Amino acid sequence: MKIIAGNWKMNGSRTGLNAMLCDLENVDTKNTVILCVPYTMLRAGNARVAIGAQDVSQHTHGAYTGSVSAQMVADAGAKYVIVGHSECRQYNGDTNSTVRQKAAQVLANGMIPIICVGETMDEKQAGKTMAVIESGVRESIPSDVGTPIIIAYEPRWAIGAGLTPTADEIAGAHTLIANTLSEMGLAGTPVLYGASVKGSNAAEIMSIPNVDGVLVGGASLKSDDFIPIITSVK
Ligand code: PEP
């Protein structure tokens, strides 16, 4: 069984989400399916699909105009929250430290954080891929994790670019993450791959050792693109 998580980014509508939930309800799969949507679309999912948010404040409540707390997201029906997505690191200045605080808020409110780590093109070209991934894992996970978490390896240079690393590169990154999690006492934590996943490459990517599922951006927006990914692995 794999985990297939969609990330709608700043796209979609409530009507569109309701339609996709209907489409997905009848899909024959044992895989876990999650849709991470903008705050305004948060609601409870259905028997087949869980709903997640795409970010959350590191603060519990108070004078943080424009921010949304983990408690609010849980109250709206979310079961998962992406934290540390590449775009939040790039545009909002999220660091491993803030990502760790956000993940702690998510856990404290009974949800599962999907903690993203991955290297930029500059870091890749400087030969720092493995160091960035390992420090991302070690520094972005709260120290007192007692409930499930999910890690997503997303090479930042490949997101939305139609590019994917080689199978060997993905295998190397996921093996490093699995070994690091094991050293941290978190063996068995699912690790997703994300960046330019589509129906035509999903099965191959999910056959790579230590790849427990995928985080899908652009190809999660339409049922016709997302369903083939969900059903690509039985
Ligand atoms: C993402 O936004 O997490 C992502 C993986 O995007 P895309 O699939 O479009 O590369």
The atom of ligand 1 lying closest to the CA of 85 is 3
Ligand 1 center from residue 155 Cα (angstroms): 10
- Interatomic CA distance for residues 17 and 44, integer angstroms: 11
Answer for the pair 83, 103: CB distance below 8 angstroms, yes or no. Answer: yes
Q: Which amino acid is at 4?
A: I
pLDDT value of residue 155:
96
Where is pLDDT greater, at 147 or 51? 51
218 C-alpha to ligand 1 centroid (Å): 6
Identified catalytic residue from 87, 119, 154, 174: 154
Q: What is the spatial distance between Cα 104 and Cα 113, in angstroms, rounded to a whole number?
A: 8
Helix, strand, or coil here: 53?
Answer: strand
User: Which amino acid, residue 7?
Assistant: N
Please tell me the pTM assigned to this model: 0.97
User: Tens of pLDDT along 134-145?
Assistant: 999 999 999 988
Neighbours of 95 (CB within 10 A): 12
18-36 per-position pLDDT tens digit: 999 999 998 999 999 999 9
Helix axes 96-108, 129-140, angle to 10 degrees: 40
Residue 147: is its pLDDT beyond 90? Answer: no
Ligand 1: which atom is nearest the Cα of residue 216?
A: 8
The verdict on whether 174 is a catalytic residue reads no
Contact residues of ligand 1, CB 6 A cut-off: 7, 9, 154, 159-160, 194-197, 215-219
Residue of the CA atom closest to atom 8 of ligand 1? 217
pLDDT band at 212 (very low <50, low <70, confident <90, very high): very high
Is the pLDDT at 162 greater than 90, yes or no? no
How far does Cα 139 stand from its chain's mean position?
Answer: 17
Q: Which of 25, 59, 61, 85 is catalytic?
A: 85
- Looking only at the bridges linking them, the beta strands covering 49-53 and 32-36 are parallel
What DSSP letter does each residue of 191-223 carry, written as one string? EEEESS--TTTHHHHHTSTT--EEEESGGGSSH
| 59 classed as catalytic | no
Determine contact, residues 229/27, Cβ cutoff 8 Å: no
Cα 178 from Cα 193, distance rounded (Å): 12
Residue 234 has pLDDT above 90, yes or no: no
Ligand 1 centroid to residue 63 C-alpha, Å: 32
Q: From atom 3 of ligand 1, which residue's Cα is the shortest distance away?
A: 217
Average of per-residue pLDDT values in the chain: 97
Q: Which ligand 1 atom is nearest residue 82's CA? A: 3
Query: What's the pLDDT at 131?
Result: 98
